[in-house]
Structure 1
Amino acid sequence: MKHQLKIKSIELAKELHTRIENLNDFDIFSFSSLADKVPNTVTFATSKYYKTIDFNHFPEDILLIAPVEFEGEKRQNTIYVDNPLKDFLHLIKKYVRDKHTQPPGNIHHTAIIDPRAIIHPSVSIGAYSIIGMCKIDEGSVIKEHVHVYDHVDIGKNVILYSSTEIGTEDFGPIIQKDGEIEMFPQIGSLIIEDGVQVFPFTAIGRGTLGATIIKSGVKIDHCCQIGHNTIIGTNSIITANSIILGSAIIGKNCWIGSGSIIKNQIEIGDGVTTGMGSVITKSIPGGYTVAGNPAIELQQMIQERKTLKRLINNAQADEK
């Protein structure tokens, strides 16, 4: 077992500001999953999985973070909180430091930075990154091999992971009457608000004349393409290999499933979920779950498939 920390169980419990009862004071060396049952670790359980635990075969020297609804059981070496997952993540962030994380304010000597860039002293910038004429606010982290282009405004506590292209000139072919193809010049900007995270190999295009806007709390997975003038609403999640074409509007608290393709100038309402591989060709009202190619409302798709299956079964029965 990798020793990520050495701390006493009671001290760890105190960090969560919870009542300490029926708790032995033993060494905690690491974090573990509920399934692994590794001694001298801390783990957590949601309500669903807590009910499946066989405590007759559960090691005593594991600190379990459990939902407060089970507090009446007063199990040994268990602390009860409102949100076990949130508190578990808090402990990891506090006590385990990513070995690749640059110290705040550290700028690697290989980074190339435009002298006109406005960078807060607390910002860290990794090796071989290229920073154009932009603004980067407090607490943001730019990992290795990141290219931030001109006219990008990055908020507080943003993380741009390795090999991302931020504010790149986007693809905008214009076919002239004589058949000549000319690229529309991208002279707009990109605004990335506070708390956004952009994972490796993702490209975000700046606006053509206006701005591409990634609002606060958005998380964008690996290998995504975000087109010019797109607006992504607060706390939306864009998962791996998704493509959002130009001038699309994504509402807040949306979940865009892996491999989804969203047509340009489409508007997606708040709280929409798209299934993996969805192809969105029409605007979607808030609260819907859609899937398929072209994407339709999930229940409609399920019903259509049931109808199709019934027709096929009837046709096969007639042939017999």
Structure 2
Amino acid sequence: MASYSISEINNIIKGELIGNTTLSIESPEEIQKANSNQITFIGSNKYVKFWAESKACAAFIDYNVTISPGDNRAFIKVKNVDLAMAKVLDLFNLPSPVFDTNIHPTAVIHETAKIGTDCKIGANCYIGKDVELGNGVVLYPNVCVFDETIIGNNTIVWSGTIIRERCIIGSHCIFHTNVSIGADGFGYRPSEDGRQLVKIPQIGNVIIGNYVEIGANSCVDRAKFSSTIIGDGCKIDNLVQIAHNSIMGRSCIMAGHSGLAGSVTLGDGVIIGGSASIKDHTTIHSGATVGAGSGVMNDVEAGKTVLGYPAQDARDMLKEWVAVRRLVKNQ
């Protein structure tokens, strides 16, 4: 088990060390659960009250927090507690599962597939015709990559994920368990006699940029024509739906249970809160935020925060909720 002194950790974080502790630090933990060999964090004055009872020997604290650490305890004062904790979590991060052999003998790889150097392909994987894997790609057991798909260098695909034909995946991506990339978009129209639904063929593909991470059980559907596109650096939570022909700009965030209907466009840096839903053919411009549980029915201006169902300017929505609450109380 790895352990570090408070000085060693501060040399990595480069914060302001306040106080000292002789105890070794063996892992990070929440302030109320930590033991004497753990480091915790105090991101705001809201959590100061827990420090006196905490057993942690050290903590990262925000510059606005002014308490003293106490005997044989230490603080590392930083500008961003979350980023400091991310570095420490990385120090104690356990290694990924080990491959006994780079390509498992049960993997089925089409003879036309091109496999880069240092790739790892787990048990029962399927790699189809004319697939191209870049260098250092990792496919954990039971991954399927169908025909003519291209995956860039150092992308990691966890078990149960299916990547359909003709998709283009960038480098340094992470797809967690049971992700679906490139399934048919949801397209149906009533038949002429009105007695059944006619399926509209989905002949496009999915294009995903570099450094994209997609959480477990999320779906990115292929386009009806052209491409569904996810830009570089996007981070997508578990159980997220991205429908056909949607386009996400760079570094967008989508929290769990949120969804884009068909042909939605997100600018750069858009944040979609958990369980929010976005109507088809809607544009949310760069830097906008959609609050959790909201339903967006119209375009959203750049940098604006919207909330509610239907979504509107967050300040107006909050005023409306306050007014409704007052009406209820006065009845």
TMscore range, shorter length: 0.7 to 0.9
Matched-pair identity in %: 23
- CA separation of 1:19 and 1:146: change in aligned 2, threshold 3 A: same
- Residue 77 to residue 301, structure 1, CA distance change in 2 (3 Å): closer
Task: Give the aligned partner of residue 107 of structure 2.
Answer: none
- 1:163-174 alignment, distance < 5 Å: 163-174=178-189
SS in 1 for 2:233: coil
> Equivalent of 2:164, from 139, 142, 149?
149
Whether 1:244 aligns to 2:239 is no
Distance 1:37 1:181, change over 3 A: closer
Give, in whole Å, the separation in 1 of the partners of 2:307 and 2:19. Answer: 48
Q: 2:299 aligns with which of 283, 286, 289?
A: 283
The residue aligned with 1:77 is: 74
Secondary structure at the residue paired with 2:207?
strand
Q: Does 1:262 align with 2:259?
A: no
Does 2:11 match 1:9?
no
- Deviations along 1:2-61, whole A, 9 cap, x unmatched? xx6333333333222456674344322221112324210122222434654545x554x6
Check conservation: 1:108, 1:126, Cα contact below 8 A: yes
Offset at 1:172? 1.1
Cα pair distance change 1:52/1:234, threshold 3 Å:
farther
Q: CA RMSD in A?
A: 2.9
Instruction: Give the deviation of 1:68 after TM superposition.
Output: 4.7
Match of residue 143 from structure 2: 129
1:230 aligns to what? 246
Equivalent residues in 2 for 1:1-320, closer than 5 Å: 5-18=2-15, 22-49=19-46, 51-52=48-49, 54-55=51-52, 57=53, 59=55, 62-68=57-63, 76-97=73-94, 99-100=96-97, 105-132=119-146, 133-179=148-194, 181-308=197-324, 316=331
Using structure 1 for the length normalisation, give the TM-score: 0.84
Q: How far 1:224 moved relative to its partner?
A: 1.6
Moved more, 84-93 or 101-110: 101-110
Does the 8 A contact of 1:50 with 1:66 survive in 2?
no
> C-alpha distance in 2, partners of 1:276/1:17?
35
**How many Å apart are 1:115 and its aligned residue?**
4.2
Moved more, 96-105 or 147-156: 96-105
AA at the equivalent of 2:145: I
Aligned residue for 1:7, secondary structure, equals coil
Taking the aligned partners of 1:304 and 1:71, their CA distance within structure 2 comes to 37
The runs of 5 or more residues in structure 1 that have no matched partner are: none
The CA distance in 1 between the partners of 2:14 and 2:142, in whole Å, is 42
Count of matched residue pairs: 310
Q: In 2, distance between residues paired with 1:250 and 1:213?
A: 10
